[in-house]
């Protein structure tokens, strides 16, 4: 059902300091940067091998990532797996009784379609499924 890991999501407080670490010290190239107002985050995607790290900086305290950072501090936020068909995967998860955060897909960065599975259903790991945009 799930393909390879697409990215690891990391919640950060200070995006520029985190970019200094990931891009300059760890040497991961920045491939995309996008503010997603509806999710209340500024996201930066970095390449690491065939996978990515997604840095997530909250746009304010009253956002999902802002509340996460206030409660847990910065750190590992979610794991994202690629799927070929996010709608079909969601339907299969729902049919299996899996608790979902998103009943229908939402728009992710870089034209992807994404949905989140509730961490209560996945052993405490917030899990994202990602259908990448078609490559042209």
Instruction: Write out the binding residues for Co ion, residues 87-106 only, by CB under 5 A.
Output: none
80 touching Co ion, by CB under 5 A:
yes
Least Cα distance to 110 among 85, 135, 86 occurs for 135
6 touching Co ion, by CB under 5 A:
no
How many angstroms separate the Cα of 113 from the Cα of each of 44, 47, 58, 132?
17, 19, 20, 7
Closest to Co ion by CB, 97 vs 128, is 128
**Window contacting Co ion (CB under 5 A); options: 5-13, 25-33, 97-105, 117-125:** 5-13
Integer Cα distance of 130 and 136 in angstroms:
18
Integer Cα distance of 22 and 52 in angstroms:
11
Size of the site for Co ion (CB under 5 A): 4
38 Cβ contact list (under 8 Å, min separation 6): 106, 107
9 touching Co ion, by CB under 5 A:
yes
State in angstroms the smallest separation of the CB of 61 from Co ion: 20
74 touching Co ion, by CB under 5 A:
no
Q: Catalog residues that contact Co ion under the rule CB under 5 A.
A: 9, 54, 80, 128
């Amino acid at each position: 059902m799930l393909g390879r890991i697409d990215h690891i999501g990391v919640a950060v407080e200070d995006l520029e300091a985190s970019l200094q670490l990931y891009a300059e010290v760890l040497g991961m190239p920045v491939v995309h940067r996008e503010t997603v107002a509806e999710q209340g985050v500024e996201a930066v995607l970095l390449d690491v091998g065939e996978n990515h790290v997604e840095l997530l900086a909250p746009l304010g305290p009253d956002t999902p990532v802002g509340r996460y950072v206030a409660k847990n501090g910065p750190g590992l936020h979610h794991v994202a797996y690629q799927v070929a068909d996010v709608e079909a995967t969601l339907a299969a998860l729902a049919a299996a009784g899996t608790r979902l955060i998103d009943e229908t897909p939402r728009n992710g960065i870089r034209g992807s379609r994404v949905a989140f599975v509730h961490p209560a259903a996945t052993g405490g790991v917030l899990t994202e499924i990602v259908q990448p945009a078609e490559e042209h």
